[in-house]
Amino acid sequence: MPSQSNILPLPDDVLGEILKEVPLKELTSVSLVSKNVRGLAVPRMFRTFLFTPNLSADRQQGSRLQAAHEGSVAKLRFFTSGSISRHVRACYVNVSVCDASHRDACAHKQLLDLFFELIPSLANVQKLEFREVPFNVFALAQLGKLSNIDL
């Protein structure tokens, strides 16, 4: 049985070009082939962060609202973690608060506050796009900490 290092005896640049052709949906599975393949695939897998807190879309109640909030927090913490944030190059934030109840609006505010608190960890982001996001002084100050973005 060949050792793991000999499974794909290709130079990283060639392997990287091959991985560019793999559909993003399948890249996670392909990244399980070896540590080397994973190391080359991860930057592509996490280069885009879409943050869309889904709290009021179907007027969720009680535990469903809490679960949606916790899911958004978990996704935000994952993408701003040290091992993932360095790969993020584009970040899209869409917060639709149409028809939101007061509780939904408060949950959105908490998530946005956390987002702007953590955004400096996305130091390599080159593109930011916001939809229906209310900005405050804190949010704008945090955005100013991103050196690769021209505001």
* pLDDT value at 67 more than 90: no
Handedness of CA 32, 33, 39, 41 (dihedral sign): negative
What average pLDDT does this structure show over 24-43?
91
In this prediction, residue 40 carries a pLDDT of 92
Q: CA–CA separation, 29 vs 19, rounded Å?
A: 12
Band (106; pLDDT cuts 50, 70, 90): confident
Q: What is the rounded average pLDDT for all residues in the chain?
A: 83
Structure confidence at residue 8 (pLDDT): 66
Contacts of 53 (CB under 8 A, 6+ apart): 68, 69, 72, 95, 107, 108, 111, 112
Q: How far apart are the first and last CA of the chain?
A: 55
CA distance 54 to 7: 42
pLDDT of 43 higher than 80:
yes
Are 79 and 121 in contact by the 8 Å Cβ rule? The answer is no
Model pLDDT for residues 128-148, shown as the tens digit of each residue: 999 988 889 999 999 988 887
Q: Evaluate whether 80 touches 124 at the Cβ level (below 8 Å).
A: no
| Residue of 47, 64, 44, 48 lying closest to 56 (CA atoms) | 64
Task: Return the bridge partners of 49, or none.
Answer: 91
Mean pLDDT of 107-126: 90
Q: What are the tens digits of pLDDT across the range 86-98?
A: 999 999 998 865 4
CA dist., res. 118 & res. 77, Å (int): 8
Question: Can you name the residues that pair with 127 across neighbouring β-strands?
Answer: 90
Three-state SS at 48: strand
